[in-house]
Amino acid sequence: MIAFILLTALAILLVFIYLRNPYFMGDLNYAFGLIRIGMQLSKIRKSFSSILDSFLDKVQKHPQKTFLIFEENSYTYSQADKESNKVARALWTHAQLKEGDTAALLLGNEPQLVWVWLALAKLGCVASVLNINIRSKSLLHCFSCCEAKVLIVGAGITVVLKRKFSASSFWNDCRKHNVTVIQYIGEIMRYLCNTPKRANDKDHKVRLAMGNGIRAETWANFLKRFGNIRICECYGATESNVGFINYVGKVGAVGREHFLHKMSSPYAIIRYDTEKEEPVRNSKGFCIEVPKGETGLLVGKIGKRIPVSSYVNNKEQTEKKKLRDVFARGDLYFNSGDLLRIDSEGFVYFQDRIGDTFRWKGENIATTEVADHLLTVDFVEEANVYGVKVPGHEGRIGMAALKLKENRDFDGKAMYQHVNNCMPSYARPHFIRIKDAVGVTGTFKLLKVKLAEEGFNPAIIMDPLFFLEDGKGYVPMTQEIFASVTEGKLRL
Q: What local confidence, expressed as pLDDT, does residue 162 receive?
A: 42
User: Over 90: is that where the pLDDT of 314 sits?
Assistant: no
- What is the percent of the chain with per-residue pLDDT over 90, rounded to a whole number? 33
- The CATH code of the domain at 357-486 is 3.30.300.30
Among the ranges given (167-176, 411-420, 424-433, 436-445), the one the predictor scored with the smallest mean pLDDT: 436-445
Instruction: Give 237's pLDDT tier (boundaries 50, 70, 90).
Output: confident
* Mean predicted lDDT score pLDDT of the chain: 84
pLDDT attached to residue 128: 87
What pLDDT is stored for residue 440 in this prediction? 56
Q: Which of 148-157, 331-340, 354-363, 459-468 has the lowest mean pLDDT?
A: 148-157
Q: What is the mean pLDDT of residues 86-92?
A: 87
Q: Higher confidence at residue 55 or residue 355?
A: 55
Q: How confident is the model at residue 229 (pLDDT cuts 50, 70, 90)?
A: very high
Q: Residue range 11-24: average pLDDT?
A: 71
SS3 readout for the chain: CHHHHHHHHHHHHHHHHHHHCCCHHHHHHHHHHHHHHHHHHHHHHHCCCCHHHHHHHHHHHCCCCEEEEECCEEEEHHHHHHHHHHHHHHHHHCCCCCCCCEEEEECCCCHHHHHHHHHHHHHCCEEEECCCCCCHHHHHHHHHHCCCCEEEECCCCCCCCCCCCCCCCHHHHHHHCCCCEEEEEHHHHHHHHHCCCCCCCCCCCCCEEEEECCCHHHHHHHHHHHCCCEEEEEECCCCCCCCEECCCCCCCCCEECCHHHHHHCCEEEECEECCCCEECECCCCCECECCCCCCEEEEEECCCCCCCCCCCCCHHHHHHCEEECCCCCCCEEEEEEEEEEECCCCEEEEEEECCCEEEECCEEEEHHHHHHHHCCCCCEEEEEEEEECCCCCCCCEEEEEEEECCCCCCCHHHHHHHHHHHCCHHHCCCEEEECCCCCECCCCCECCHHHHHHCCCCCCCCCCEEEEECCCEEEECCHHHHHHHHCCCCCC
CATH topology of domain 51-153: Rossmann fold (3.40.50)
